[in-house]
Structure 1
Amino acid sequence: MNMKTLLSLICVLMGLLTLSSYAHAEERITLGRTILLENGKHGADIPLLVCRRVNAIKVKADRDAYLRKVKVTFKNGETKTISFYRNIKEDDTTDWRKFAYKRCVKKLEVFGESKNSSAGIRVYGRQ
């Protein structure tokens, strides 16, 4: 084997090692986004086009908001309501709220109010 081939092989292997460690390190995925209004009496729906398998969720607010709860609907039709009842500051996140095991999420409904006219909300899932 000549030097050029050996160097190419080493570069490819290093690239694969870097890629595989990155895939394991990034376990957070965005399940969906919605907007909470100032006088939000109804939940803000986030329908998922594809079922996403996760074992926990986390919520992030783009602006100051009061988050009451998130209702999660799974592929089999079961629902789970996760209560938060807390203020979330701009660009702040909640802690991870775990499920008993990895579940296939089909829909999310976020309940809360914005402190201003509206607040963007992102829901993340952990794989």
Structure 2
Amino acid sequence: MSLNSIWRIASFSRVLFGTLLLVVASACHASDDQFTLGRTILLGIGDHGANIPMVACRQTKYIKVKAERDLTLDRIVVTYGSNRTKTIKFDRNMRADKETEWKSLGSRVCVKRLEVYGNAEGSKAGVKVFGRK
């Protein structure tokens, strides 16, 4: 084997490895499109919303909810921009570890605060709210 052929093989393997890293990184980024906006706890009975305040606003176009225990999810009030609000109605019973479908906010908005309305089946139930750009 000559030095030239060894150089070609090494160059080819570097190009192949670099291409493989780019493909894997882009695939990971595509599946990592959702992010957690916040989490809160719903109590058994009450008409008060469980607040999820945010330190900085998050650009979001879609939201979905995941129940950590059995609960009834009524609605989420999203506060964005200059204190404008949008109510997203769910009106559904959710089992533990189940998620809702993605609900659109209409356009990409800068979410400042979320209020989750609903009731836990037991004494309390955890709720996670996810966002997607």
TM-score w.r.t. the length of structure 2 is 0.88
Q: Tell me the matched-pair count.
A: 127
Query: Out of 74, 80, 87, which is 2:86 matched to?
Result: 80
Instruction: Give identity over the alignment, percent.
Output: 40
Distance 1:99 1:81 in 2: 9
Q: SS state of the match for residue 74, structure 2?
A: strand
| Deviation at residue 101 of structure 1 after TM alignment | 1.2
Q: Which moved more, 1:21-30 or 1:97-106?
A: 21-30
Map 1:14-25; keep pairs closer than 5 Å.
14-25=20-31
Match of 2:109 in 1: 103
| Deviation at residue 67 of structure 1 after TM alignment | 0.8
- Structure 2 segments unaligned to the other structure (5+ residues): none
Map 1:34-73; keep pairs closer than 5 Å.
34-73=40-79
- Structure 1 segments unaligned to the other structure (5+ residues): none
Distance 2:65 2:31 in 1: 20
| Deviation at residue 83 of structure 1 after TM alignment | 1.2
Distance 2:34 2:76 in 1: 18
| Deviation at residue 49 of structure 1 after TM alignment | 1.6
Structure 1 runs of 4+ off > 2 angstroms?
A: 3-6
Corresponding position: 1:12 with 2:15? no
| Deviation at residue 30 of structure 1 after TM alignment | 0.9
Q: SS state of the match for residue 51, structure 1?
A: strand
CA RMSD after TM alignment: 1.5
Query: Which of the pair has more CA radius of gyration?
Result: 2
